[in-house]
Chain A
Amino acid sequence: MILDLHNHSVASDDGRAKVENYCQWISNRKLPLDGFVLTEHRQFDQASDYRALEDEYGLLVLKASEVETDYGHVLVYGVNEDLLHAFDFTSINLSLELVIKEADRCGAIAVPCHPGRPKVGMCAHYAERGPVEGVSVIETYNGGSRGDENERALELAKTHGYAGIGGSDAHIVSHIGRYGTKIDREIKDEEDLVRALRDGAFEAVTWT
C-alpha cells in the first residue's frame, strides 16, 4: 500500500488544511494513496479521532509528530504515552540522539525529515558535526523541498546506507499526494507502520 507519511492539518500552527478536506481531495482526484499520516508540529494530537473519515473515504489516517532537534526536524512514528513523557515535544532544542534513543525504547521510530533543507535539515549538521548513531531511515522525498534539497537527501541516504521514505509535507489541501511511501505489506495502525519502517519494507515513490 502507498501512504503519504508527512502532512500537517489545522492542528499545526501553520497548517491550513482540514483532515476531511485532505480525504476529499485524495478521493476526488483519485490519487494513488491508501492513506496518509498527520505529523503535527511539536505536538502529538491525541484527541482527534478520524475513524469516521477513514470509513467514509476508505483511507487510512494515522497520527505521528514532527519534532525539532539539534540536527533538524524529525518525524516520529508510533508516538505513545511512554514517549510523550520521555521528552518535551514542544521544545525546539531536542537532542536527536535522545529522540532516537527514546523512540526506540518506547516502540516508535524517529525519521529525520527534509535533510537537504538549510538549518532544519540533517545534511548541514552532518557536515559540521558528523553523523548520529541510530539513524536508519530518513525522508528522501519531501514535497516542501526546493532546488536540489531532495538530491542532497538522496546522497546522504546513499552515503550512510539509510532507507528513504517519501512525504508531501502538505500544509494545504492541494499539496497532499506529491510524494508517498510504498510499503510491501498491509498497514492497519501506527504499530504496523513502525514495524514496516524498522524492517525496511518500503520505498519512497512519486508520480508527479
Chain B
Amino acid sequence: MDIASLKKEWTGFEFDTADFVVEEQEMLDFALACGEVEPRYTDATHADFQAPTTFTSKFSGRRILPKDFPRIAKRGGFDAGKCVEFHAPVRAGDTITGASRIHDIYEKTGRSGPMIFIVHRMEFRNQRRELVSIVDWRMVQQP
C-alpha cells in the first residue's frame, strides 16, 4: 500500500461534524471516573465548575473514517489511544461541535510486524466558536 498517496488523498479535509450538549451530570460522572478531586471538576456549585480537561475524548462523531476510505486491515486493527490538547474549559449547558478529519497516516514496525497508523483528529468548538480542545485518536491497522 502506498502510504504517501493514501495520505495525500485522505488527509486534511473535514468529513463529519457532530453536536453535543453538555450536561452537568455527565461532567460530574466523567470527573468521578477520572478520579478527579479538584472541586472545580467535582462540585457543580463551584464558581469555576468545568469539565475535566480530557472531557471531549468521550465524544465520537457519526463516522470514524471518511466514506469510501479504503480497507487497509488484513490482520486486524486496534485502538492506540487518544491524545487531548486542551484549549478552553467546557461548561455545563455548552453545545460543543466536533469536526472530524484525518490528520495523518503513517507506517511503523513493531513486534507484531508492520502497522499503519491513522490519526483521526476532532476539533471541538463551543457555541461561541471558541476552540475548546483537539483530540487525536490513533487507530492501528495491520496490513
Contact = CB atoms under 8 A, between A and B. Distances in A.
Interface of A: 13-14, 41-42, 68, 73, 90, 92, 117-120
Contact of B109 (A13, A14, A90, A92): A92
- Main SS class of interface, B: strand
Contacts, number: 26
A41 B117 CA distance: 14
A120 B117 CA distance: 17
Q: Which of A13, A42, A68 has the most CB of B within 10 A?
A: A13
Range, interface on chain B: 10 to 19
B113 A68 contact: no
Interface string B85-109: 0000000000000000000001111
B111 A68 contact: no
A144 to B, nearest CB: 10
A13 B106 contact: yes
A10 to B, nearest CB: 9
A124 B107 CA distance: 21
Interface in B101-143: 106-114, 117, 138
A118 B108 contact: no
Q: Which of B80, B107, B111, B113 has the most CB of A within 10 A?
A: B111
A90 B109 CA distance: 11
Contacts of A42: 106, 108
Interface in B39-58: none
